[in-house]
Amino acid sequence: KNQVEQSPQSLIILEGKNCTLQCNYTVSPFSNLRWYKQDTGRGPVSLTIMTFSENTKSNGRYTATLDADTKQSSLHITASQLSDSASYICVCHSGTYKYIFGTGTRLKVLA
């Protein structure tokens, strides 16, 4: 069964600190993995897309990694800001038009 699991479910950190969010997937066939940021009350916004041949991709303070062998991805946020408070959703594209969504990690950054 195609599944995307994210951890932790929620996370609270102090402003300026780093954090890492995890995504484990069992999706076959696997095409690519995306990380989305969803602010409260808003639609998800794409942060990064990674194909199975990519190991690391950065977008500003966000760095995503992908290990296609262990089927794990992480999203590392550096020097967190209050505006990083949001849900971060891991999404796998299975090579068809179906996207399998994780339930997200809710991040809260405190001043």
Residues that bind other proteins (CB under 8 A): 31-32, 34, 36, 41-46, 49, 51, 89, 93, 95-99, 101-104
Q: Three-state DSSP class for 83?
A: helix
- Toward other proteins, which CB reaches closer, 18 or 103? 103
CB nearer other proteins, residue 21 or residue 104: 104
Rounded to the nearest whole angstrom, what is the least distance from the CB of residue 18 to other proteins in the complex? 25
Q: How far is the CB of 31 from other proteins (least distance, A)?
A: 5
Residue closer to other proteins, measured from CB, 9 or 14:
9
| Token pair listed for 101 | 């969504």
Give CA torsion, residues 74, 7, 104, 37, to 10 deg. -30
Q: What tokens were used for 103?
A: 């339930």
CB count in 10 Å sphere of residue 53: 8
Q: What are phi and psi of 98, to 5 degrees?
A: -85, 135
Q: Residue 104 Cβ, how far from other proteins at the closest point, in Å?
A: 6
Minimum CB separation of residue 102 from other proteins in Å reads 6
Residue (17 or 98) nearer to other proteins, CB: 98
Contact between 107 and 7 (Cβ < 8 Å): no
